[in-house]
Structure 1
Amino acid sequence: MNPPDPIEGAAGLFALDPTVAHLNHGSYGAMPIEVSWAQDAFRAEQEADPDAFFWELPGRVAAARTALARLLGADPAGLALLSNVTEAVAVALDSIPFAPGDEILVTDHGYGVVNLAAERRAAECGATVRTVPVPLDSADPAEAVLAAVTPRTRAAILDKITSPTARELATPALLRALADRGVVTLVDAAHAPGMLPVALDVEPADFWFGNLHKWAFAPRPTALLAVSAPWRTRVRPLTYSWEHAGGFPGNVEWRGTADYTGWLAAPAALALLERLGLDRVREHNARLAGYGQRQLVERAGLAALPLSPGVAMAAVRLPAGVAEVEEQVRPLMEAVRDRLGARVAVRPWPGGGVLRVSAQVYNRPDEYRTLADGLAKLLTAL
């Protein structure tokens, strides 16, 4: 697999430290300089006349939400701006009436905090959480999920793109199959906005939530929660506000004197992506991630995990005994940073941890080659 041609001028859009290979965009994203300027302008406006700013804020948030809806092909009335996926999953879980004996399905590829949120909600209601193991090399992860459904299954939380392993899991076909079985579906699409073409009218999830500060260039923290029409009147906000009586989406968006400037600047991030060319950015990043994985396989001798089409992240399996437990993860990531000058994501996994690299328009092919060569030596020394 050959690397893609660079997008001219794209690297200069960011304020990243040039002495570090930032190969972990999937964890925290990176905000372009011009988007930070847009947010700074909103902050300056807020401080110049706070009364006017907050008086006009609900309408401006609604306008931002409408502008962002086109990124998901969604009805703005079914969207709410929130801080992040962690907050969105709490809203979604709190809106579902669970009964004693109900089951919430999650997978062992799910994001840890999201699974913890399910456990807390289940404990409050007398429900249980069941973790579905999905083999790392599974050709069709949907089979394991559907096989785990029982008459007690009330809800399933599934990743659109799994965080540790960069696999597509919540496909439209799987969501439809779960809906046919009467299962409420919650899709953790933390990595989808900006990375993948999203059309929520063909992804029949009851609750769908994704971060905009990862692949959509928005300020941190910015996320969207999409709620299907039957659930919108039942959404329970985590806090009360003056907008509560108006119902969704305002009842979950408004939280008094919080910092809303990131939300207001998010349309500027979308405009930048569209100026660069969304399809061009997506194709570049997916190809570069695949190239990066190939270098880790060929130069470092690591085993590739399955790649999902269009995904700008790729994962490899570390040798047995490396990063198998959480206590081994941070030292390895620090060693990669200190000795190799690179940022990567590592997650523990029995039999050998999982290392994930991301690809964004500021990355270069040589960064992955350098990482792979250095990792080969680093792992030998462990």
Structure 2
Amino acid sequence: MTTPLPGTGTLFTLDPAVAHLNHGSYGAVPVPVQRAQARLRAEQERDPDGFFADLPDRIARARAEVASALGGDPARLALLTNVTEGVAVVLESIPLAAGDEILVTDHGYGAVTRAAERRAAETGAAVRCVRLSPHLADEHAVRERVLAAVTRRTRVAVLDLVTSPTARVIAAPTLLAALAERRVTTVVDAAHAPGMLPVDLGGAAGGADFWVGNLHKWAFAPRAAAVLAVRAAWRPRVRPLMLSWEHDRGFPGRVEWRGTCDYTPWLAAPAGFALLEKLGAERVRAHNEQLAAHGQRQLVERTGLRPLPATAGLAMRAVRLPPGVAESEHAAKALMVAVQRRLSTRIAIRPWPGGGVLRISAQLYNRPDEYTRLADGLAHLITR
């Protein structure tokens, strides 16, 4: 059974009366990073004029540290608030015309899919959604289904690296390479990658044309912090959602600067990576993966629920709820509320035809018995 890593018992300020098994949604900021951000905010309030006057250069330095942690060139990256914003920027920057198609999957994050639909409506393009069974065996099966949906009209593919509802890999390197051969522009929603997986952006955007990852989930940054990596050919075309005084400086400054906003999450993000490195990134990842696997086993063995295929290295796991349970948005939210109120546990449930999908996460603050209690209580809730 997974045991807590030494020295991590006081890293977080979460309510001990609640089992927080949903780190994948909002993350949790460790105490040292909270303090780093608090110092930045205090500095800002002592001299707002001076703080904002130096901000573009300080953001650039923070970006350089983030780039170093992710194996990328700071000139290829831009800091943003979250993946949803990043995808909106990307879709605004890609020219589309009537008859073009944007490819998505039914495992995609809802707000990202809606952004693709809005962009399609504005340009006369269409969104083609690839239906992927949650039980597809491996990345090869996923790749074949996605490629089978590509047509001569497909211009863009917006794909998750790790899916939010089902915790599996879609935008694997082999799929991205195959799409590049077909001249499809690739946009990777890597919301869960930084911190949870080793990331090496290298000379390209993680093998994609555009790659967007959150830093406030698994990389211990404050909310809201994310990074956008852009392939060289696209950087001059990146169009921010609003103009700023930094617009004429080009990418990445034109994307990052948005006037009077709270930039302290970005400036504190390097502290999150530093803490992860101090703890031992590989050790943290191994601990979290083993704990998530334990949690999935508890749910399967104690409730009889069907496990969804797991990907090595991920700190999230999912199980399939019975037919008739959480098949609508309303029902999924109602079950999450019931689990929170009656079991004092936070989880994620996504509606799905034929039975919703329940996702758990594992982080340093979690304990094995929390998953056992969830499994025992859930068995009662879904059979009432």
Amino acid of the residue matched to residue 188 of structure 2?
A: V
Deviation of 1:95 after TM superposition, in Å, equals 0.5
- Matching of residue 198 in structure 1 with residue 196 in structure 2: no
Deviation of 1:4 after TM superposition, in Å, equals 2.4
Deviation of 1:306 after TM superposition, in Å, equals 0.3
Report what 1:26 is aligned to.
24
Task: Tell me the secondary structure at the aligned position of residue 12 of structure 1.
Answer: coil
Amino acid of the residue matched to residue 240 of structure 2?
A: P
TM-score (norm 1): 0.98
Deviation of 1:73 after TM superposition, in Å, equals 1.1
Q: Deviations over 1:95-133 (max 9, x none)?
A: 000011000000000000000000000111100001000
Deviation of 1:283 after TM superposition, in Å, equals 0.6
Distance in 2 between residues matched to 1:106 and 1:304, nearest whole Å: 24
Task: Tell me the secondary structure at the aligned position of residue 380 of structure 1.
Answer: coil
Q: How does 1:1-382 map to 2 (within 5 A)?
A: 3-139=1-137, 140-201=141-202, 203-381=206-384
Amino acid of the residue matched to residue 151 of structure 1?
A: R
Amino acid of the residue matched to residue 173 of structure 2?
A: P
Q: Deviations over 1:62-88 (max 9, x none)?
A: 000000112321111010000001100
Deviation of 1:242 after TM superposition, in Å, equals 0.8
Distance in 2 between residues matched to 1:330 and 1:159, nearest whole Å: 23
Structure 1 residue ranges, 4+ long, deviating more than 6 angstroms after superposition: none
Task: Tell me the secondary structure at the aligned position of residue 11 of structure 1.
Answer: coil
Deviation of 1:314 after TM superposition, in Å, equals 0.2
Distance in 2 between residues matched to 1:300 and 1:341, nearest whole Å: 18
Amino acid of the residue matched to residue 383 of structure 2?
A: T
Q: Deviations over 1:135-184 (max 9, x none)?
A: 11112211110000011000000000000000011001100000000000
Deviation of 1:13 after TM superposition, in Å, equals 0.4
Deviation of 1:51 after TM superposition, in Å, equals 1.4
Distance in 1 between residues matched to 2:16 and 2:3, nearest whole Å: 20
CA contact (8 A) 1:11 1:363 kept: no
Distance in 2 between residues matched to 1:178 and 1:337, nearest whole Å: 41
Distance in 2 between residues matched to 1:324 and 1:51, nearest whole Å: 52
Task: Tell me the secondary structure at the aligned position of residue 382 of structure 2.
Answer: helix
CA contact (8 A) 1:191 1:210 kept: yes
Distance in 2 between residues matched to 1:70 and 1:274, nearest whole Å: 12
Percent identity between the two aligned chains: 67
Distance in 1 between residues matched to 2:283 and 2:2, nearest whole Å: 10
Deviation of 1:305 after TM superposition, in Å, equals 0.1
CA contact (8 A) 1:142 1:174 kept: yes
Task: Tell me the secondary structure at the aligned position of residue 38 of structure 2.
Answer: helix
Deviation of 1:310 after TM superposition, in Å, equals 0.4
Deviation of 1:204 after TM superposition, in Å, equals 1.4
Distance in 2 between residues matched to 1:376 and 1:284, nearest whole Å: 26
Moved more, 25-34 or 135-144: 135-144
Distance in 2 between residues matched to 1:217 and 1:243, nearest whole Å: 28
Task: Tell me the secondary structure at the aligned position of residue 200 of structure 1.
Answer: coil
Deviation of 1:316 after TM superposition, in Å, equals 0.1
Distance in 1 between residues matched to 2:353 and 2:333, nearest whole Å: 16
Deviation of 1:9 after TM superposition, in Å, equals 2.3
Deviation of 1:11 after TM superposition, in Å, equals 3.0
Distance in 2 between residues matched to 1:69 and 1:54, nearest whole Å: 22
**Structure 2: tracts of 5 or more residues without a match:** none
Task: Tell me the secondary structure at the aligned position of residue 323 of structure 1.
Answer: coil
Distance in 1 between residues matched to 2:293 and 2:270, nearest whole Å: 29
Q: Deviations over 1:312-339 (max 9, x none)?
A: 0000000010000111011100110111
Distance in 2 between residues matched to 1:315 and 1:39, nearest whole Å: 33
Distance in 2 between residues matched to 1:144 and 1:135, nearest whole Å: 10
Distance in 1 between residues matched to 2:286 and 2:349, nearest whole Å: 25
Distance in 1 between residues matched to 2:369 and 2:68, nearest whole Å: 35
Deviation of 1:10 after TM superposition, in Å, equals 1.2
Deviation of 1:222 after TM superposition, in Å, equals 0.4
Deviation of 1:54 after TM superposition, in Å, equals 0.8
Distance in 2 between residues matched to 1:95 and 1:65, nearest whole Å: 21
Alignment: residue pair count: 379
CA contact (8 A) 1:71 1:194 kept: no
Distance in 2 between residues matched to 1:311 and 1:106, nearest whole Å: 22
